[in-house]
């Protein structure tokens, strides 16, 4: 595969990951309830009691909150929407990565920003350390494909410059 094809493949992977991450924020209560049920049907309560306890707390919190204040879920609807919009932003680099390299760099900055946000907001909200690590992992794992795309975009830029010089000569 040529450089542009690799760039596009990584960008499609990234956009799909953003879309999946976003869409899963819509049915949050159902997902947490299902996750809790699955955990209780496994040896997890004996092996990872802290995890099962936290998932159950989240499940009860969502259930109680949504039963009385269903509009709170609107916040996660906007979270889902934001993920979808961010995925759409990467259509620009998909079409022309060199001209739209700034979107890739912006995505990298956003990934880095996940870490202090998780640490600060997670601490203020009383989240367990493990949960904050999971949240921070989105920024850490999210930046990896973007680093690859940035390097490939720089290579494509050099290749294009070489071709332009050869044509001019």
DSSP string covering 2-20, please? -HHHHHHHHHHHHHHHHHH
Per-residue pLDDT for the chain (169 aa), expressed as one digit of tens each?
Answer: 899 999 999 999 999 999 999 999 999 999 999 999 999 999 999 999 998 998 999 999 999 999 999 999 999 999 999 999 999 999 999 999 999 999 999 999 999 999 999 999 999 999 889 889 989 999 999 999 999 999 999 999 998 887 667 666 6
Cα end-to-end distance, the chain, whole Å: 27
Using CA atoms, how far apart are residues 17 and 13, in angstroms rounded to an integer? 6
Considering Cα of 72, then 77, then 80, then 85, what sign does the dihedral take? negative
The pLDDT value given to residue 164: 64
Residue 107 burial by CB count (10 A; 0-12/13-18/19+): exposed, middle or buried?
buried
Using CA atoms, how far apart are residues 1 and 19, in angstroms rounded to an integer? 25
The pLDDT value given to residue 8: 98
What's the half-sphere exposure (Cβ side, CA atoms, 13 Å) at 83? 20
Nearest to 98 by CA among 150, 165, 166, 167: 150
Structure tokens at 6: 């690799």
Using CA atoms, how far apart are residues 54 and 47, in angstroms rounded to an integer? 14
Residue 93 burial by CB count (10 A; 0-12/13-18/19+): exposed, middle or buried?
buried
CA 12 to each of CA 4, 22, 63, 134: distance values in angstroms, whole numbers, following the listed order: 12, 15, 35, 23
The pLDDT value given to residue 166: 65
The pLDDT value given to residue 128: 87
Domain ranges of the chain: 3-161
What value, to the nearest 5°, has the Cα angle with vertex 27 and ends 21 and 30? 120
């Amino acid at each position: 595969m040529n450089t542009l094809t690799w760039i596009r493949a990584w960008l499609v992977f990234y956009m799909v990951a953003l879309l999946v991450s976003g869409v899963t924020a819509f049915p949050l209560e159902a997902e947490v309830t299902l996750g809790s049920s699955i955990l209780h049907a496994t040896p997890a309560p004996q092996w990872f009691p802290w995890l099962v306890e936290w998932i159950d707390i989240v499940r009860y919190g969502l259930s109680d909150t949504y039963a009385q204040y269903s509009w709170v879920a609107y916040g996660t609807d906007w979270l889902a929407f934001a993920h979808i919009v961010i995925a759409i932003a990467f259509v620009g680099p998909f079409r022309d990565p060199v001209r739209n390299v700034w979107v890739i760099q912006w995505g990298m900055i956003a990934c880095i920003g996940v870490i202090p946000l998780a640490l600060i907001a997670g601490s203020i909200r009383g989240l367990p350390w493990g949960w904050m690590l999971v949240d921070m992992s989105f920024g850490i794992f999210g930046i990896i494909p973007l680093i690859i795309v940035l390097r490939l975009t720089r290579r494509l830029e050099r290749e294009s410059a070489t071709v332009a010089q050869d044509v001019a000569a």
